Structures are given as structure tokens and as C-alpha cells.
Structure 1
Amino acid sequence: MIKISIIYASKTGNTHAVAKYMADGMNETKDVEARIFHYSDVDEEFVKESQGIVFGSPTYMAGPTADFYTWLEESGKKLNLEGKMGGVFATEQYIHGGADLTMNSLLIHLLIYGMMVYSGGRAFGKPVIHLGPVEVSPEKEKFEELFKIYGRRFAQQIIKISK
């Protein structure tokens, strides 16, 4: 069984909602168990056993929330991230709100911790998801399929490289 963790920060519930969409997409994949965790309530044992971890944050001041950023800096080593597949996603209040910068900031942390970074890029056609999926509030339901697709693709890539 492939285990995947989704760890997120959420202040208004939007990031939590899209993390659930992503987990739903992952769990549609055979032999995959995906779970979501708010960063303040992580099941460290499950995360350590996970082959993949996706991190998500709302966008504040064109970056991740300060508390999530600090948590990632302090928790990265103890979660044994090295060698695992990593991914990111973000939410924002409006188009061009800085979600790309939020994801780049998170991706840098993943690389520093020795994670392999997932990007489907253009390889799978539309929807093209380079850095990770982005939800633009307040209409999160419009982004449900995008997050499910990313979740399925992420899970399928882990299965592919695990063989």
C-alpha cells in the first residue's frame, strides 16, 4: 500500500477543502491511502511511512503563512523527508495573488530537505499543472476536478517510480 500525506495550513477553510479534493483523487488510485493533516495536528508516524507528501498553504503577502513556513523549517528534519516525492499547492483570494510565489517558496524547502519534486508539466496534457494546483477563492468548487486530477497524477507517479 502506497501512503501519501497532505499537510496544509488553512485559516478560512479553503485550503482544507482543496486538500480534501486532492486526497479524494489520490484515494481513487488502487493501492493508495492518502490522508490530510493540518500542520498543527500531523500523524508523524504516517508521514514518516509515506512515500509522498504534498504541502499546501494559503497565500499571504505573496508567500505561505508565516506559521506554516516556520513549522516547515522546524519540522522538516524530524519527518524524514529525504528521498520522498514532494508536491505543493496553494490557495489565493484573487488571480495573480502570489500563489506561484507561495509554491516556489515551499518547493525550495522540499529541495533543501532532499525530496524529489513532482511536476506533471505538459506531459499529461490539459489541465497543465506545472508547480502545483491553485484555488482562487471564493469559488473553490470550480477547482475540485483540478485538485482531484493532480492527486491522481501524483499517486500514479509514485506507483510508477516504486516499481
Structure 2
Amino acid sequence: IEFEKASKSRTYLFIDDQSDKEIAGFFSVAISNLYIPEVTTDGLPVSSINNRKKLDGYRGKRNGTVQTNFPVYLIGQIARNSKYPPANLSGKALLDSATGVIQDAAQLVGGRLMLVECTKALVPFYECHGFKRQNFHVDTDSFREENLIQMIKPINNYVCSVR
């Protein structure tokens, strides 16, 4: 609610009209930033300039500096009420709706990538839906505490991945 009020994200609700307008599921979408460090903590390159160029769609360097930040649409929250079985409201239906909102936004203002940050248990679900796991560790407190994994997917069939 705080993010909605501050215009930091938009939350979309799936309301069950059959049972007192109960929330059956929801998802949130926000604008965010994907940070890909130039080198690992061991000093090894994380990604080639060509891969960074694919992510950016323009160039892998700006003013001689390796690009490390990429704008993304973040699916910040996505959930189904446990009272509703997947047959009534599937994770795929929620994700497809979130993807549709992002595609509409990208059509209006541009953008190349969508991002989810998830636990290890959810990686197979997102992989089945075209997201690719990023093969680097983001060294921030929130990622260490929650063990979140970043996964990206091109919005409109752009070819991009970081290896």
C-alpha cells in the first residue's frame, strides 16, 4: 500500500466476485534497475561487453565505462490466495497477466527486460516461463538474507542473456 501511494509500483488484484469480493491473487509491477557488476569479488569479468550490449540494446560501454546498470520492469510480488487451487487461478495466469501489463508499458515507453527476484524453490517455475537465471551473486544485505535469485526475460523477443 505504501509503494502504491508513493507511486513506486502498481498492484493488480484478482477479485473473486463469487465470495464477498475476496482477493484470489495479485501481482505488483515496478520500474527497477538490474545491477551486473563489472567483475566478481575474485576480480573475474562477470559478462562480456557483447552480452552487456545485448542487454542494453545499444552499447556495452558508455563514455568508456563498462555499463553495470540496466533498466528493468520488476515483478515485485506475485501470489495466489491459498484458498484458490491452481485449477481456479494458476501461477501461469498471474504471470501472464503481469507480463501483459509490462508489455503494454514497454509498448508505450520502451524497455527491454523484465526481472523477478525469487527463492531457489521458484526457479523452475520461472524457467518454464522463459526467465533465465543470472549467474552472478549480488553482494547486498537483502540478497544474502533472503537468498534471492535474479531472473530476467526479454519483453518482446529480444535476444539477451548474461553468461
Q: Is the structural similarity TM-score above 0.5?
A: no
The higher relative CO (CA closer than 8 Å, separation ≥ 6) is in 1
Task: Report the TM-score, using the length of structure 1 for normalisation.
Answer: 0.31
- Structure index of larger Rg: 2
Task: Report the TM-score, using the length of structure 2 for normalisation.
Answer: 0.31
Determine which structure has the larger helix proportion and give its number. Answer: 1
